[in-house]
Every structure is written in structure tokens, then in C-alpha cells.
Amino acid sequence: MRHEGKVALVSGGARGQGREIARRLAREGADIALFDLCERPETSQYPGATREDLAETAGIVEAEGRRVVSGVVDVRDHEAVGDFVARTIDELGAIDIACANAGLVTWVPFLDLTPAQWSEVMDINVTGVFNTLQPVLRHMAERKSGTAVITASCNALEPGESIAHYTASKHAVLGLTKNLALEFGPFNIRVNAVLPSAVNTVMGNNSTNLKWIFGRDGATEEEYLAATRQWHVMRNSPALKPSVIADAVSWLSCDDARFITGSALPVDAGHLILPGFNHKPITE
């Protein structure tokens, strides 16, 4: 119960990592505010979360005996996010933990990227973090207490094939993490980032990503799990369960990590220490 008496806000909370973060923090004593778009973004290549997903996550929190505030909110809408933050403070009393988790990835070669594809990933992954954390950090600064965890990616440190826009967005939020840690440390506020590797959620395990990995249609989840073992050093580690990311977020948010700020914590089964090689060498 290391978060007992606290309130945590989670963006992108309807399913996947967001749901598991909400579940874990609630299980450890926190009341939860969660919001999600609950529709498919225009350029997304996989299904979006639904209102039913959001309601299910709220039910999971309530089943843990915790209070919950939920809402259908577009993380790109600064005013709407600010209103949800104000509602959370009004109904739950405060915000102690902020998890800026909402995100989008698409797989498009750079020369084929449209302005709409570029903008939507940037707007959700970068501006969405700004929209989420600005009103929360203003509240925390007034209280001189709080912590924020931003969901980045291993692509905050390394490139990836056909995801230049996503990689740029995650490099951006890692820089934002460090700058916010610098600005808000004097207010006794910590800001950190988690860097997941492949995670077995709809964001990674979908037909578009499977085609990108295997170069063909029709790849199965079993093939996906087999392939993602090759991305990790640790024994028998396919795409990680989203609860593994929630474990890291919970620890970074608790008092055991009270002197950790501005950090980028890989949760990657050793992916980032793998030696690289050229999969497609040019021989002429």
C-alpha cells in the first residue's frame, strides 16, 4: 500500500499500459483519475480504445476499493485536459502522481510521411504531454509536492525503421522530462520517464506492425512473440506484459525513489544493450 492516500492521474488510461498503471496504483492504495480519447485517431493504423474499455478500467479501479474519476478527453485539447485536471482535484482533492502515458505510433517511411501523419503523432505524443503536465505541475507546485512519470520508449534513445516521426516525438519527451525535472525540483516535484521495449498491447501487436516486422500479411501473435524474443537479452522474454511497465511506474512514483528525478528508466529486458548489426547491407 505504498500509494495509500494518494491520487494518480493517468492519460491513455482506457487499455494497455494505461489500464495496468491504473490497476497497479489502485492496488497499492491510490485513487485514480483516468482519461482517453476513446476513438481511433485519424492516421492511426490500429483500433483506438473505446468507451467500453474506459468503463472497464474504471471498474477495475473500483474493484480495488478505490475512488475513480474517468472521462473521454482528447489529450491534444489543452482546455479539455485542463478541465479534467480541475475536475479531478475537485472530486478527489489533489493530484499526487501524474502518468503522461497516452501515445500513438504509425509505421511509414520518412519520404512517404504526410503532414497529417507527422502532426498527429507529434500532437499526441509531445503536445499531449505538455497539455497533461502543465495544469498538473501548476497544482503540484502550489502544494510543493508531487511526481510525474512520462511514458517514452527505447526509441527515445535509438532510431527505428519507418518510425522517424515517432522516434522524434520520444526524443522530444525525454528532453522535456529532463527540463521539467530541472524546473520543478525546487518545488519538491520529481519528473522521470520510463522507456519500454516491445510491449504486448494493441499498439505493438497489430496487423500493421506485424506486416512491418515480417514483410507479409497474416502473421500470428505466436510469430510476434517469437520474433520479439530476439529484441531482448533476458532469457525467454518476448514482448513484455504491460503490467511490467506499471511495476516501474509505481516504483518511480513511490517514496523509495524520492531522490530520483530527471531519469530515463529502460524497461526493456536488456534491449538497449544488444549489439547492433545491419539487416540490409548494400553490397554494390
**Within 10 Å of residue 41's Cβ, how many Cβ atoms?**
17
Q: Is 166 a catalytic residue?
A: yes
State the Cα–Cα distance between residues 231 and 198, nearest whole angstrom. 8
State the Cα–Cα distance between residues 206 and 86, nearest whole angstrom. 35
DSSP 58-111: HHHHHHTT--EEEEE--TT-HHHHHHHHHHHHHHHS---EEEE---------GG
35 touches 11 (CB < 8 A): yes
123 touches 103 (CB < 8 A): no
- Beta-bridged to residue 68, according to DSSP, are 32
State the Cα–Cα distance between residues 121 and 127, nearest whole angstrom. 9
Q: What is the CA radius of gyration of the chain?
A: 18
Active-site residue among 166, 184, 224, 231? 166
State the Cα–Cα distance between residues 10 and 148, nearest whole angstrom. 10
Cell of 126: 509531445
Q: Give residues with Cβ within 8 angstroms of 89, minimum separation 6.
A: 95, 139
- Beta-bridged to residue 34, according to DSSP, are 10, 70
Task: Identify residue 53 by its one-letter amino acid code.
Answer: D
Phi then psi dihedrals of residue 190, to 5 deg:
-105, 145
What is the set of active-site residues?
Answer: 166
